[in-house]
Structures are given as C-alpha cells and as structure tokens.
Amino acid sequence: VLGGLLMAIAGAAITLLIYTNFADKPATVVERDSSGAQLADARGFLTSFQLGEGQIDFTYAAEQTVHAVVHVRTKAMVKEPDNPFMQWWYGDRYNNQPREQRGYGSGVIISEDGYIVTNNHVIEDAENIEVKLNDNRVLPAEVIGRDPTTDIALLKIKANNLQYLRWGNSETLKVGEWVLAVGNPFTLGTTVTAGIVSAKGRNLDILEGEYRIESFIQTDAALNVGNSGGALVDTKGLLVGITSAIYTPNGAYAGNSFAIPVSIVKKVIDDLRQYGEVQRA
C-alpha cells in the first residue's frame, strides 16, 4: 500500500511538472533582429505552389521580388556597462573594451539608382552598413534618413540599373488576400514565404515617440530573425508592406507576422528623401 501511495505521489508530481513546463505563456512581440546564425552565402530560394483547381501560382510575384530584396549587414562597437565587482576583483587589470557587434536584416530596393527602404531598428546605432544584392555584389550603404516613430529608414547605395519594386496599394488590400514575404531569415539567403492578410490596422504598442504611428498589416506568412526590413508583396509583385515584427512566445515564428503598410512607408520615404526627416505639422 505504501509503495502504491508513493508511486501515485510521484506520478502527480511528474504531471504537475509537465503541466508547468508546457502551460501557455503570454506572447511577446519581437521587433529587433540580432546577430546569430552564420550561414551566409546560401543560394536564394523561390517558393511557389498551387491550390486546388484555382492554381494559385506565386512564381511571377516571387521572381519580380527576389532581385529587389537585399541583405543588410551592420557593424557597431558596443561597450558593456562597467561592472563594479569585476573592477574590484581585477583592479587595474580590468579593461572594459568595446566589442564589435554585428547585425543583419533585409531591405527593399525602391529605385533603379539605389534607394533602399528598411526598418529603423535594423540599422539603428550602426557605424558601418553594407548590403548584399541578389547578384552577390556587396556595397556600402549610406543612411539618408530614418524615422523611429514608424520604424522606417532610407539607405542609398552607389549603383544603377537596379531592379526595384513598384508601389502597390495597401489601402485596397483585403483581409484574406494572398501575400508573399521576401527577406533574409537567419542569413540563409533570399527566401520567399506565402500567407494571407489576417487583419489590417493592428496596433501593437511597440514603437516609441510622441508621434509614433502603428497600423500594421497582420499576415500568417512566415517571418523569422533577419526578415525585418523585407518586402511584403501582393500576387502581382507590387510592394504593399515592409515586414517588421512577429508575435511569439519564444522568439520564433508562431503564425503572426506584421508589416508596415506602404501607405505609411511611402509618405515617410518621400520626406526622408527630400528633407532627411519626416515633416509633421
């Protein structure tokens, strides 16, 4: 009897442990990419499929987009906060030197002469920025302007005759429409994923500033670390959004991705290109 009782108690404890470990946890918004996997130089990938008799084919939109999406690489020197304990322990030998921090993300070419839109959080605080084109050329990039309140930044590279994306219309985009997300997840290389528009006008409360603007397009197209600043396009290959965030309990894609609509992006980019900053009344 005693043995049976002990087994029952042990079983209950194991059940409680399993429940505790796998119970639902509140989701968190991931909006910033960080350096991580080093799997660069992978070839680009195209994804297309057909659905039933309707034969929904994404190859045209994908082919229009992959050549206009770039990989953004950043470098910055970062100094950790001084550690009083380490200073006491090592004394004069303590040397808190800045270390190089690398980051990566995606960007979208919007003109044949090298203007590129990306997320502000991809290039914020970067001391050196370069972009890798789909043809494997690597070029330095200059920051023309950035706007933290919308998480948009405008870069410029010295190149001509580039394939670029044309503006679509995010205002007429409907919930349920197919969209493609194109970016550089995990530095794998240009990758295409597909999904539908799940919702429009989402406010996630993740941006900062008195004039912050949030009206995200929500989609179930898969995004991961490195996709920030990439393209969200419709089935015609027209740019309808700039991918920016995911909603996740663990840092990985969990079915909810968010993009800044081009109705916001275009206004910000026009101002950054002309004035270097966003004009507000």
Q: Which residue has the tokens 């808190």?
A: 96
Residue 121 annotated as catalytic = yes
| Catalytic residue chosen out of the listed positions 147, 151, 234, 271 | 151
Which of 120, 71, 69, 105 lies closest to 233, judged by CA? 69
| Catalytic residue chosen out of the listed positions 33, 71, 106, 121 | 121
| Catalytic residue chosen out of the listed positions 106, 170, 198, 228 | 228
What HEC string does the chain produce?
CHHHHHHHHHHHHHHHHHHHHHCCCCCEEECCCCCCCCCCCCCCCCCCCCCHHHCCCCHHHHHHHHCCEEEEEEEEEECCCCCHHHHHHHHHHCCCCCEEEEEEEEEEECCCCCEEEECHHHHCCCCEEEEECCCCCEEECEEEEEECCCCEEEEECCCCCCCCCCECCCCCCCCCCEEEEEECHHHCCCEEEEEEEEEEEECCCCCCCCCCCCCEEEECCCCCCCCCCCEEECCCCCEEEEEEEEEECCCCCCCCEEEEEHHHHHHHHHHHHHHCCCCCC
Residue 228 annotated as catalytic = yes
Q: Annotated catalytic sites, by residue?
A: 121, 151, 228
